[in-house]
A and B are shown apart, each in its own frame.
Chain A
Amino acid sequence: MSEMRPQLLETTTMLFAGMPDWDALVTAGFPLLLVPSAGGGFGGDWGDAFAVLRLAGAQPLAQPLGEAMVAALLLASAGVAPPAGRATIAAHAVGSIDGGRFTGSLGAVPWGQGAAAVVAMIDGGLVLLPGSDAVTPGGSPAGEARDTLAYDAAPVVPLGGGDIMQLGGFLRVALASGALDAALGLAISHCNGRIQFGKPLSKLQAVQQALAVLASEAAAVAMAGAAAARALDFGDAGFEIAAAKLRTNIAIERGVAIAHQVHGAIGFTQDYPLHPLTRRLMGWRSEFGGDAFWADRLGRMAVANGGAGLWAEMTARGDR
């Protein structure tokens, strides 16, 4: 854990509570959280990023913070100067690079419209693309921009190796961890306050048992995410992120259902603050690899060295 994390979290909590706009986040230096201090950044580790993004997910903060943090880190690592303006990342690319120029499209780009730069994975490598004016707007279930950007012979800056699915998947794990905790918090206060059958809902055993499951799922995601952050700090987190994203997806399925069930119709209204959490969770489950994507990847890794090899792999990674 980085030494400055307690202070970082205090500042972050206060800032996020005021629902800052993008410029306020930039002014406070958040997009540069992961960039080394020698490169003008904050020099935070992945545990710091996990903690900050958990707070963003709990708020929930409708800003492309994680995407910008990852893009800034990838550019800094490749020694490429950051663009003037906001950078994001893309999970889906269709098309090809010819003579250093990309023709094709990037799909479901988080806050793609208005981005000055996009980091994408094309032909197995990471590249930096400029923003695009040819935008087909799209949106997540929660109404966050997920845009398709078209390119015609756009200049490409190669950034070397890397896996945008891993890093994007980690962002979704961190956000979902915060959102599940916040949904649990809402559910607990609702059930403590709402009187039915002459007593608070929280005194009903069926409700208690359901909330215990929601709390356990939230705890599992927090743990899997923290372990993935730790592995990222080691520089090799393919297994841990696959496990964390898949576990998060499982928790979203179980947790969202419980959070809504215990809220009854009240949680199904526009006015009540549960849906900004649950509708984001529904979208995040699919983003940067859904269940099938990560189960396939993790399944391949799990069988690579036979039945005994899986245990050996898990313990070797945990013993680092």
Chain B
Amino acid sequence: MTISAFALPPYAPPLGTAAVRAEIRAFLAANPPPADPVRRANCWAVADDDYSRALGAAGFLGMLWPKRYGGHERAPMERYVVLEELLAAGAPVGAHWIADRQTGPLLLRYGTEVQRQKYLPGMAAGTIFACIGLSEPGAGSDLASLRSRAEKVDGGWCINGQKLWTSGAHRAHAMLALLRSEPGSERGAGLSQFLIDMNTPGVTVRPVVNLTGDHDFNEVFFDDVMVSDDAMVGARGNGWAQVTAELALERSGPERYLSSHALLALLIDAVGDDHRFRGPIGRLTAEMWTLRQMSMATAAKLAGGEDPSVEAAIVKDLGNDFEQRLPQLIQAALDSDLDGSGDLVRLLAHLLQVSPSFSLRGGTREILRGIIARGLGLR
């Protein structure tokens, strides 16, 4: 009897977990998240430069990185605890999130010594922010069809093209872009990663205002942008492999199920032990408890040097489904018009509007389920 396609061992906290939780809670007490609950929801998309700097100064950014790059050489699960506490509290962590989660680790893995020295200390201090240049007008879920190109010229590379849906490009100091470096190449072949300073001449950032009127993502144009040879990250032509590895590692974090947590907490404070809400709250609690176990167990597997890319896809798919249904379930139980009156109703309306993005960003639901299906041997 075949049993369990994806069995994770139950999560057992390593020593020091309680200590680091006390540390980050002390920071949160001294640096309280915004009073407005709308600013506490989906808070890894809420940017506050000062808050990021404070986190950096307190040693909560670049936690796993070597000290010589400004890091703190802490354990992976310590970082996990810090992240989940920041997210559950609703701290505005959007400014540095990409640099800390993704760009920094990628530079540690593939970057040159010069690149590391130039960027990592600032990223760990919360003063250098990054964005990721992947999607393009003609390349969304079908990322391999991207067309923006880097052309080899004397003394470096000349970049032309356009990126789209680039979160935080208007705040970022650098973009890690995936570009076609080999003329005439197709699909995943012939792509390379480049680290581009956003103030390089020829880089233009234009806002794409989202449906709530907020500015988070952007379109970014490259017009004959000249970068030097040492802007390339990793091996020439190896960009696809580097990016897919990077995507797999970002999918199981606590941000994949906690985006709507502020609403659940606010609901509990508002309704207390009202029997009409007990059922929905119980149900949401059961799902959240389970997702947290799955997310932590996946993180522990990752920390142990294994590749849990299928488990990570499961966590993200279930987590996104949960954080999207949370506002729906609460709306169904709440007898109130969405008239903007009161914190609970304002937050509910906000999350109903932004939650469609939860199963789009970082890999759509359909892409994730395709990854899971591949793990099952179906494709």
List A residues at the B interface (Cβ < 8 Å). 1, 13, 16-17, 47, 54-55, 58-59, 178, 181-182, 184-185, 188, 191-192, 202-203, 205, 207-209, 211-213, 215-216, 218-220, 222-224, 226-227, 229-230, 239-240, 242-244, 246-247, 250, 291-292, 294-304, 306-311, 314-315, 318-320
Contacts and interface: CB of A to CB of B under 8 A. Distances in A.
Contacts of B369: 208-209, 212-213
A303 B268 contact: yes
Interface string B126-141: 0000000000000000
A227 B267 contact: no
B244 to A, nearest CB: 18
B294 A219 contact: yes
B3 interface: yes
B114 interface: no
A240 to B, nearest CB: 7
Interface string B224-250: 000000000000000000000000000
A127 to B, nearest CB: 29
Given A203-B379, A226-B9, A307-B267, A216 B3 contact: no
Contacts of B275: 296
Nearest to A308: B265
Contacts of B378: 188, 191-192, 202-203, 207-208, 211
Interface string B1-22: 1111111111111000110010
Contacts of A222: 4, 6-8
Contacts of B366: 209
Tell me if A's interface is mostly helix, strand, loop or mixed.
helix
B278 to A, nearest CB: 3
A46 to B, nearest CB: 10
A215 B278 contact: no
Given A211-B373, A243-B286, A297-B282, A184 B1 contact: no
B43 to A, nearest CB: 14
Given A191-B378, A212-B373, A306-B269, A227 B283 contact: no
The 4 tightest CB contacts between A and B, nearest first, are A307-B265, A299-B278, A299-B282, A295-B282
Contacts of A212: 317, 368-370, 372-373, 376
B285 A243 contact: yes
Contact of A250 (B1, B12, B287, B376): B287
Tell me if B's interface is mostly helix, strand, loop or mixed.
helix
B213 to A, nearest CB: 27
B117 interface: no
B297 interface: yes
Contact of A244 (B3, B261, B290, B294): B290
Nearest to B377: A188
B282 A13 contact: no
Contact of B293 (A16, A47, A205, A224): A224
B266 A307 contact: yes
B264 A303 contact: no
B6 A215 contact: yes
A223 B290 contact: yes
B63 interface: no
B5 A246 contact: no
A136 B88 CA distance: 52
B156 to A, nearest CB: 43
A247 to B, nearest CB: 5
Contacts of A211: 373, 376, 378
A232 to B, nearest CB: 11
Nearest to B310: A215
A243 B282 CA distance: 8
A203 B377 CA distance: 10
Q: Which of A182, A205, A216, A242 has the most CB of B within 10 A?
A: A216
A211 B373 CA distance: 7
A227 B5 contact: no
Contacts of A294: 282, 286
A121 B267 CA distance: 34
Contacts of B83: none
Interface string B267-306: 1110111010111111101111111111011000000000
Contacts of A239: 289
B279 A292 contact: yes
Nearest to B286: A246
A298 B285 contact: yes
A230 B282 contact: no
B314 A216 contact: yes
Given A188-B378, A292-B279, A318 B293 contact: yes
Contact of B273 (A185, A207, A300): A300
Contacts of A218: 4-6
Nearest to B269: A307
B318 interface: yes
B311 interface: yes
Nearest to B379: A208
A185 B1 CA distance: 8
B18 A319 contact: yes
A223 B17 contact: no
Nearest to B270: A307
A142 to B, nearest CB: 18
A223 B294 contact: yes
Q: Which of A13, A208, A296 has the most CB of B within 10 A?
A: A208
7 contacts: A211-B378, A212-B372, A218-B4, A222-B4, A243-B289, A306-B268, A310-B285
Contact of B6 (A219, A295, A315, A320): A219
B273 A240 contact: no
A236 to B, nearest CB: 15
Contact of A310 (B4, B268, B296, B368): B268
A239 to B, nearest CB: 8
Contacts of B372: 212, 215-216
Contacts of A1: 9
Nearest to B374: A208
Given A209-B370, A247-B290, A302-B268, A318 B311 contact: no
Contacts of B318: 216, 220
Q: Which of A58, A226, A300, A311 has the most CB of B within 10 A?
A: A311
